[in-house]
Chains A and B, each alone.
Chain A
Amino acid sequence: EAAVTQSPRNKVAVTGGKVTLSCNQTNNHNNMYWYRQDTGHGLRLIHYSYGAGSTEKGDIPDGYKASRPSQENFSLILELATPSQTSVYFCASGDAGGADSDYTFGSGTRLLVI
Chain B
Amino acid sequence: GEQVEQRPPHLSVPEGDSAVIICTYTDSATAYFYWYKQEPGAGLQLLMSVFSNVDRKEEQGLTVLLNKKDKQLSLNLTAAHPGDSAVYFCAVSGGNNNNRIFFGDGTQLVVKP
Contacts and interface: CB of A to CB of B under 8 A. Distances in A.
Interface stretch (B42-50, B55-63, B65-73, B75-83): B42-50
B43 A105 contact: yes
B49 A101 contact: yes
Interface residues of A, number: 25
Contacts of A94: 93, 101
Interface of A: 4, 31, 33, 40-43, 45, 48, 50, 90, 92, 94, 96-97, 99-108
Nearest to B104: A42
Interface residues of B, number: 25
A71 to B, nearest CB: 15
A107 B43 contact: yes
Given A42-B104, A43-B103, A103-B101, A96 B42 contact: no
Nearest to B44: A105
Nearest to B4: A42
A48 B102 CA distance: 13
Nearest to B1: A59
B60 to A, nearest CB: 18
A97 B36 CA distance: 18
B91 interface: yes
A90 B44 CA distance: 9
Contact of A48 (B41, B100, B106): B100
B99 A96 contact: yes
Contact of B94 (A43, A96, A105): A96
